[in-house]
């Protein structure tokens, strides 16, 4: 009889453990579902933010392109030099738009390209003689020499014939 009671108490203990484990498993499943739901919501929010950022970037890029198209056009020429890198085309970027200017050829570009070329400066060493000694000083010089050949006036509807 004592043995029967021990078996029953052991069986009861196992049932309690099983019930506790079942409750723990149910709690963990609920937590998992809540976490999955929160992850889906976070992904949806991130996707919405990403779409808004993409739309804003596209709008900004369109505005920059419109601004470039609206600028006065400049006819310019970039001469070649002696070195191979001075004979290569010149890349100029303005507001995310890149222009590849071929040397020794007249090109028409927005005025913003001219402004970038004007701002492209570098320090060059200049050697002079003072009191019989060579003195080196640094002066600013145009990084890429260019010539402005003129401006292209926009054609309006009244001028067309």
Between the two ends of the chain, the Cα-to-Cα distance in Å is: 119
Q: What is the Cα–Cα distance from 113 to 139, expressed in whole angstroms?
A: 24
Q: Residue 110 pLDDT more than 50?
A: yes
Banded model confidence at residue 57, pLDDT cuts 50, 70, 90: very high
User: How far, in Å, are 24, 30, 33, 42, 49 from residue 38 at the CA level?
Assistant: 21, 12, 9, 6, 16
- Report the percentage of the chain scoring pLDDT > 70: 94
Say what percent of the chain tops pLDDT 90: 67
Three-state DSSP class for 87?
coil
More reliable by pLDDT, 159 or 53: 53
**Is the pLDDT confidence value at 159 over 80?**
no
Write down the pLDDT at residue 155: 62
What are the CA-CA distances from residue 63 to residues 13, 54, 56 (Å)?
74, 14, 10
């Amino acid at each position: 009889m004592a043995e029967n009671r021990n078996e029953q108490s052991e069986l009861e203990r196992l049932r309690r453990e099983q019930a506790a484990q079942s409750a723990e498993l149910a709690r963990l499943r609920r937590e998992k579902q809540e976490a999955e739901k929160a992850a889906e919501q976070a992904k949806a929010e991130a996707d919405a933010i990403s779409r808004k950022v993409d739309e804003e970037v596209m709008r900004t890029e369109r505005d920059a392109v419109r601004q470039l198209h609206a600028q006065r056009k400049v006819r310019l020429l970039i001469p070649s030099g002696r070195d191979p890198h001075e004979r290569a085309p010149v890349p100029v970027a303005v507001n995310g738009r890149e222009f590849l200017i071929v040397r020794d050829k007249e090109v028409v570009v927005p005025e913003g390209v001219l402004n970038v070329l004007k701002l492209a400066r570098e320090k060059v060493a200049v050697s002079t003689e003072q009191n019989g000694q060579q003195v080196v000083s640094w002066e600013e010089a145009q990084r890429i020499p260019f010539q402005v050949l003129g401006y292209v006036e926009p054609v309006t509807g009244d001028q067309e014939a």
